[in-house]
Amino acid sequence: MKDFHRDHLQFSQCGLNCLLCPMSLGGYCPGCGGGEGNQSCAVARCAVEQGVGEFCSRCGQFPCERLGKMVEHDSFLPHDRMLRDLERAGELGTEVYITQLKGRRAILDRLLAGYNDGRRKSFYCLAVYLLELDSLQRAFEEIQASVPADRPVKEKAITAIGILKKAAETDGVTLKLNKKPKEK
């Protein structure tokens, strides 16, 4: 989209936390940053048409029907928190919210570097995205304390997953995406 530019690419226009997305981590998502960006994104096109700038929450029609439909099913990240995350970013301020995202991303990077047996990226992204930051930090500290560095990575991954699942259960969080059913 020509003449469209966003400064805060860690957090999407519609409220997804791009900094924690497996597609973004893998370099597979052009994002909604403008320029070349995601040309097919209806939300970005709408934002340009409405002149709302970087975030849909700045629109007079927020939350709109388009965003309401998006939260029903997930893609690579949970969509049910998009609206809440936009509101939270508005309350805290964009810079503070992104600082918190960067804290989550630091934990995600450490999980991927030390506890990923090649099959856990999506799970770790989901856990880091969904757990409250304090619960995530406590779980990661427990992971570090529970797993000796010299253990095989598969064993480290199993332990890390168990601890993250336990934290999720304690917080009442389901670590599963709500995918749209396939049409017959």
pLDDT in tens, 24-78: 887 777 777 555 555 567 787 787 788 777 787 887 888 888 877 877 777 888 8
Judge if pTM exceeds 0.95. no
What contacts 131, CB < 8 A, 6 or more positions away?
A: 139, 164, 167, 168, 171, 173
What whole-number distance in Å separates Cα of residue 91 and Cα of residue 146?
Answer: 36
Residue 66 lies in a domain: yes
Which of the pair, 100 or 53, is modelled with greater confidence?
Answer: 100
Q: What pLDDT was estimated at residue 40?
A: 65
Report the number of distinct structural domains present in the chain. Answer: 2
Tens digit of pLDDT for each residue in 125-139?
999 999 999 999 999
In a shared domain, residues 54 and 102: no
Residue 153 lies in a domain: yes
DSSP SS3 for 5: strand
Question: Within 10 Å of residue 119's Cβ, how many Cβ atoms?
Answer: 9
In a shared domain, residues 54 and 125: no
Residue 181 lies in a domain: no
Phi–psi pair at 48, nearest 5 degrees:
-65, -45
Residue 114 lies in a domain: yes
Residue 184 lies in a domain: no
* Enclosing domain of residue 78: 1-38+47-92
In a shared domain, residues 127 and 146: yes
* DSSP codes joined into one string, 106-138: HHHHHHHHHS--SS-HHHHHHHHHHS-HHHHHH
Q: How confident is the model at residue 110 (pLDDT cuts 50, 70, 90)?
A: very high
Lowest-confidence pick of 22-31, 105-114, 115-124: 22-31
* Block residue for tokens 């600082």: 99
Q: How confident is the model at residue 170 (pLDDT cuts 50, 70, 90)?
A: very high
Phi–psi pair at 17, nearest 5 degrees:
-90, 85
In a shared domain, residues 52 and 11: yes
pLDDT of 14 above 60: yes
Residue 12 lies in a domain: yes
107 CB-contact burial (10 Å; exposed 0-12 / middle 13-18 / buried 19+) = buried
In a shared domain, residues 130 and 164: yes
What whole-number distance in Å separates Cα of residue 107 and Cα of residue 135?
Answer: 12
In a shared domain, residues 88 and 139: no
Residue 183 lies in a domain: no
In a shared domain, residues 151 and 110: yes
